[in-house]
């Protein structure tokens, strides 16, 4: 890659909305300039003391807030419909079931919706990076996430966790799920205090209805959180979830992406799943061609967009590894990690109603894998799920085609109303083919 370049990404294959960003090369000093009147610079997490490991975190209970601050810069203005926003560093648990920490961003709306409870949306942005500097708590300063502002405009409190944690463990289902659950624990403990400062606040502390939302990589974290919920955080009240572009099987997805526009995901996920185990990382490095190893390892310093540009359409396996993908994934520790973190449907039963939306033509995560998870697993054990298989478009297209349906469902969960074609909460298991949307262009 050139020492400096302007990367314009018209679509983010794993994002919640179509966006365009400008980024500098990772070889340059990296700061984001906030759009505030003072033009202050926002430090990346790798340089920001707020993201340093707090003393005594191992002794804190999961979900405990260990450090907090108002978000620096002018994130509230960038986001829109926001009265205040906070960054919380909280205690969580990693994929080895050891104490860990992560950061989440909490947005408070100007006005709460007209219900007798607070509505909390935990929005899992699929940031898909092996670098802590690729997390949403930093990337959100670029703008481009209008769904946050829309949710705030409905009077919902919004939680956006950096669910890959302090090691940027992209692809580790267990730690991502734990991190989501603990972020919700953390923000639920803070919400009564911050809501009490709103103009229309009631004298009593409201109850909180909570829903999860995520597409693609965000669906991974959301569904892992729901499968782990009963065993890890049964005391945590959750009420529903909308997930789209569901990625249920890590190995199937890896098989699909090498040599494609999504090839940049492969270095990031392989580095992410080995981020919490030095033995696994050593196994991965041992499989690299020595002459090209540094190029693949450079993804450790890239956000999603940078990796997408660096590895676009490359045959990552042939270019960087000595053997085929099966050989890499068969390394003992790597195989153990994938067996434990790479497949949904084996770790618990979601306890809340689900809205699942998927393009039949999804080229990144095969629809047959989602069919199996929903029809052969969740529906067989009584999960309340509405599964819509869209005949239009592919992975990116369904991202936009499914937004209206997911919002309708989330509104019914968070506000107690039913809108549009989405089945109401409590409808049991429904699997239907739909033809919805105008976005049909493949990636």
What pLDDT band is residue 196 in, cutting at 50, 70 and 90?
low
Residue 391 reports pLDDT greater than 90:
yes
Partners of residue 33 on adjacent β-strands: 41
Residue 362: active-site member: yes
- 206 versus 163: the higher-pLDDT residue is 163
- 1 versus 374: the higher-pLDDT residue is 374
Of these residues, 179, 384, 395, 397, which one is catalytic? 395
| Cβ neighbours of 46 (radius 10 Å) | 13
- Distance of alpha carbon 188 from alpha carbon 172, whole angstroms: 24
User: How many domains does the chain contain in total?
Assistant: 1
Q: Is 365 exposed, middle or buried (0-12, 13-18, 19+ CB in 10 A)?
A: buried
Residue 6 reports pLDDT greater than 80:
no
- Domain hosting 238: range is 1-443
Contact 218, 135 (CB under 8 A): no
Residue 301: active-site member: no
Residue 88 reports pLDDT greater than 60:
yes
Contact 211, 120 (CB under 8 A): yes
How much is the average pLDDT of 44-60? 98
Contact 169, 62 (CB under 8 A): no
Q: Considering Cα of 99, then 58, then 100, then 373, what sign does the dihedral take?
A: positive
How much is the average pLDDT of 239-243? 97
Q: What is the pLDDT of residues 198-212, one digit of tens each?
A: 555 554 556 899 999
Residue 36 reports pLDDT greater than 70:
no
| Cβ neighbours of 340 (radius 10 Å) | 15
User: What is the CATH number for 244?
Assistant: 3.40.50.1820
- Distance of alpha carbon 221 from alpha carbon 236, whole angstroms: 17
DSSP 82-123: EEEEEEEEEEEE-TTS-EEEEEEEEEEESS--SSSEEEEEEE
What pLDDT band is residue 426 in, cutting at 50, 70 and 90?
low
What pLDDT band is residue 349 in, cutting at 50, 70 and 90?
very high
Which residues make Cβ contacts (< 8 Å) with residue 360, sequence separation at least 6? 367, 389, 390, 391, 433
Q: Give the start-end residues of each E strand in 199-319.
A: 207-215, 240-244
Give the model's pLDDT for residue 15: 37
Give the model's pLDDT for residue 202: 54
CA-to-CA dists, residue 422 to 28, 386, 425, angstroms: 47, 8, 9
pTM for this prediction: 0.90
- Distance of alpha carbon 160 from alpha carbon 435, whole angstroms: 30
Of these residues, 133, 147, 277, 362, which one is catalytic? 362
How much is the average pLDDT of 388-404? 95
Q: Look up residue 181 and give its two tokens.
A: 């659950």
Of these residues, 95, 216, 268, 412, which one is catalytic? 216
Structural element, H or E, at residue 182: helix 173-195
φ/ψ bin of 63: left (φ > 0), alpha (ψ from -120 to 50), beta (otherwise)? left
Mean pLDDT score of the chain, rounded to an integer?
A: 88
Residue 167: active-site member: no
- Distance of alpha carbon 276 from alpha carbon 279, whole angstroms: 9
Residue 109 reports pLDDT greater than 80:
yes
How much is the average pLDDT of 261-284? 98
Contact 168, 275 (CB under 8 A): yes
Give the model's pLDDT for residue 116: 79
- Distance of alpha carbon 341 from alpha carbon 101, whole angstroms: 19
Residue 268 reports pLDDT greater than 70:
yes
Residue with tokens 């597409």: 215
């Amino acid at each position: 890659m050139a020492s400096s370049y302007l990367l314009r990404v018209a679509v983010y294959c794993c994002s919640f909305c179509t966006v365009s960003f400008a980024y500098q090369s990772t070889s340059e000093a990296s700061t984001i300039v906030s759009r505030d009147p003072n033009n202050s610079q926002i430090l990346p997490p790798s340089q920001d003391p707020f993201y340093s490991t707090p003393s005594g975190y191992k002794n804190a209970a999961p979900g405990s807030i260990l450090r907090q601050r108002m978000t620096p810069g002018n994130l509230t203005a960038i986001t829109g419909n926001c009265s205040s926003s906070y960054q919380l560093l909280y205690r969580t648990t990693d994929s080895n079931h050891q104490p860990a920490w992560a950061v989440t961003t909490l947005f408070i709306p100007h006005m709460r919706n007209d219900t007798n409870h607070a509505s909390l949306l935990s929005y899992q942005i699929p940031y898909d990076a092996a670098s802590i500097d690729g997390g949403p708590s930093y990337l959100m300063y670029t703008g481009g996430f209008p769904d946050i502002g829309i949710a705030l405009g409905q009077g919902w409190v919004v939680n956006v966790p950096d669910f890959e944690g302090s090691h940027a463990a992209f692809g580790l289902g267990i730690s991502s799920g734990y991190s989501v659950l603990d972020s919700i624990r953390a923000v639920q403990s803070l919400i009564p205090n911050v809501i009490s400062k709103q103009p229309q606040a009631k004298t009593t502390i409201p109850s909180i209805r909570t829903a999860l939302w995520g597409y693609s990589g965000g669906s991974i974290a959301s569904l892992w959180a729901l499968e782990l919920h009963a065993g890890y955080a049964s005391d945590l009240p959750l009420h529903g979830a909308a997930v789209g572009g569901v990625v249920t099987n890590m190995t199937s997805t890896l098989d699909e992406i090498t040599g494609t526009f999504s090839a940049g995901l492969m270095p990031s996920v392989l580095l992410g799943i080995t981020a919490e185990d030095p033995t696994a990382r050593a196994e991965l490095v041992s499989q690299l061609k020595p002459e090209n190893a540094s190029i693949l390892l450079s993804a450790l310093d890239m956000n999603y967009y940078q990796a997408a540009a660096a590895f676009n359409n490359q045959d990552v396996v042939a270019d960087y590894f000595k053997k085929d993908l099966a050989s890499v994934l068969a390394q003992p520790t790597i195989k153990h990690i994938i067996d434990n973190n790479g497949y949904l449907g084996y770790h618990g039963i979601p306890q809340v109603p689900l809205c699942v939306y998927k393009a039949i033509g999804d080229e990144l995560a095969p629809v047959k894998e989602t069919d199996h998870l929903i029809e052969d697993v969740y529906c067989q054990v009584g999960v309340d799920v509405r599964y819509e298989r869209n005949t239009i478009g592919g992975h990116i297209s369904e991202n936009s085609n499914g937004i209206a349906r997911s919002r309708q469902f989330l509104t019914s969960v968070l506000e107690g109303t039913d809108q549009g074609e989405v089945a109401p909460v409590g409808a049991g298991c429904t699997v239907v083919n739909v033809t919805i949307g105008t976005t049909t262009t493949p990636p």
